[in-house]
């Protein structure tokens, strides 16, 4: 299989994972068992942002792009694909921490709703 196809497939998988990390708690509103998968994923995503680490999928995608003869991008996945659209000037450390807080805040609120449902009146 060509490395370019592998890199594109990994890009798609990575994007879906980022979406799942950011908003997967919504699925737990409908299917509470999703929390067993989502909570570790959300913790991983927040940890990556708070500590400024690079997700292991990013260097793998970059290596596959280079193996395909393409130019690999600099920086991380979020910085290259997401914040490049939202923040053309680049991802700062403050923005990275804010993204981690957003992940925790949104999902914290969702899980509070999951575990403290409204009682019928």
pLDDT averaged over the chain? 80
For the chain, how big is the Rg over CA atoms in Å? 17
Q: What does the alpha-carbon distance between residue 14 and residue 32 come to, in Å, rounded to a whole number?
A: 23
Residue 88 has pLDDT above 60, yes or no: no
Domain limits for position 9: 3-115
> 1: pLDDT confidence band, cut at 50, 70 and 90?
low
Share of the chain above pLDDT 70, in %: 81
- The token duo for 84 is 């490049």
Tell me if 9 is assigned to some domain: yes
**pLDDT (0 to 100) of residue 76:** 61
In a domain, 121, yes or no: no
Q: How many domains does the chain have?
A: 1
Burial label for 26, CB within 10 Å (0-12, 13-18, 19+), is middle
For 34-80, how does the pLDDT look when each residue is reduced to its tens digit (9 = 90+)? 989 999 998 898 888 788 788 888 888 888 888 888 877 666 665 55
Q: What is the DSSP letter of 62?
A: H
In a domain, 120, yes or no: no
């Amino acid at each position: 299989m060509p490395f370019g196809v592998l890199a594109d497939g990994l890009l798609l998988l990575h994007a879906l994972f980022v979406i799942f990390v950011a908003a997967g708690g919504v699925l737990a509103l409908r299917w509470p068992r999703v929390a067993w998968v989502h909570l570790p994923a959300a913790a991983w995503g927040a940890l990556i942002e708070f500590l400024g680490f690079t997700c292991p999928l990013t260097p793998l995608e970059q290596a596959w792009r280079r193996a395909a003869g393409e130019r690999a991008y600099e920086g991380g996945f979020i910085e290259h694909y997401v914040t490049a659209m939202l923040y053309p000037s680049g991802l700062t450390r403050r923005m990275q921490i804010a993204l981690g807080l957003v992940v925790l805040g949104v999902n914290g609120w969702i899980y509070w709703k999951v575990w403290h449902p409204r009682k019928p009146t």
